Amino acid sequence: MELQGFERHDHASCIRDGVDAAAEHCRREGLQLTPVRRRVLEILLERHRALGAYDILDTLRDEGLGSQPPVAYRALDFLVKNGFAHRIERLNAFVACNHPGENHSPAFLICRKCDRVAEGQADPASDMLGRSAAAIGFRIERAVVEAEGLCPACQENDRK
Amino acid sequence: MELQGFERHDHASCIRDGVDAAAEHCRREGLQLTPVRRRVLEILLERHRALGAYDILDTLRDEGLGSQPPVAYRALDFLVKNGFAHRIERLNAFVACNHPGENHSPAFLICRKCDRVAEGQADPASDMLGRSAAAIGFRIERAVVEAEGLCPACQENDRK
DNA sequence: CAGCGAACTGTTATGTTATTACACCGGAGC
DNA sequence: GCTCCGGTGTAATAACATAACAGTTCGCTG
Ligand SMILES: [Zn+2]
Ligand SMILES: [Zn+2]
Ligand SMILES: [Zn+2]
Ligand SMILES: [Zn+2]
Nearest bound ligand to the CA of residue A99:
1
Query: What pLDDT score was predicted for residue B20?
Result: 95
Q: Each residue of B19-30: pLDDT tens digit?
A: 999 999 999 999
Q: What's B100's domain CATH number? A: 1.10.10.10
**For the residues B35-64, what does the mean pLDDT come to?**
96
For chain A, say whether B127 makes contact (Cβ under 8 Å).
yes
Q: Which residues of chain A have pLDDT under 50?
A: none
Instruction: Give the ranges where chain A is alpha helix by DSSP (H).
Output: 11-29, 35-47, 53-62, 69-81, 128-136, 152-159
Please enumerate in sequence order all residues whose Cβ is within 8 A of that of B25, keeping only pairs 6 or more positions apart, or say none: B31, B82, B83, B84, B100, B101
Query: What pLDDT score was predicted for residue A130?
Result: 85
Query: What pLDDT score was predicted for residue A115?
Result: 85
Asked if residue A114 belongs to a known ligand binding site, the reply is yes
Which of B60, B48, B64, B56 has the alpha carbon at shortest distance from B10?
B48
Query: What pLDDT score was predicted for residue A157?
Result: 76
- The pTM score is 0.91
Domain count, chain A: 1
Which residues 114-133 of A interface with strand D at a CB distance below 7 A?
Answer: none
Query: What pLDDT score was predicted for residue B126?
Result: 65
Q: Which residue of A has its CA nearest to B131?
A: A1
**For the residues B120-148, what does the mean pLDDT come to?**
86
| Mean of per-residue pLDDT scores for chain B | 90
Asked if residue B154 belongs to a known ligand binding site, the reply is yes
Measured between beta carbons, the chain A residues lying within 8 angstroms of B7 are: 136
Return the ∠ at Cα B73 (arms to B42 and B140), rounded to 5°.
Answer: 95
Separation in Å: D16 C1' and A52 CA: 9
| C-alpha span between B60 and A160 (Å, rounded) | 47
**For the residues B69-96, what does the mean pLDDT come to?**
97
Query: What pLDDT score was predicted for residue B65?
Result: 93
What is the CB-side half-sphere exposure of residue B119 using CA atoms within 13 A? 20
B39: pLDDT strictly greater than 90: yes
Query: What pLDDT score was predicted for residue B115?
Result: 85
Provide the terminal-to-terminal Cα distance of chain A, rounded to the nearest Å.
31
Query: What pLDDT score was predicted for residue A125?
Result: 64
**For the residues B99-104, what does the mean pLDDT come to?**
80
Residue B49 belongs to domain spanning: 2-159
Residue nearest D18 (alpha carbon to C1'):
A70
Percent of chain B clearing pLDDT 70 (strictly above): 93
Q: Say if CB B130 and CB A126 are below 8 A apart.
A: no
Residue nearest D16 (alpha carbon to C1'):
A92
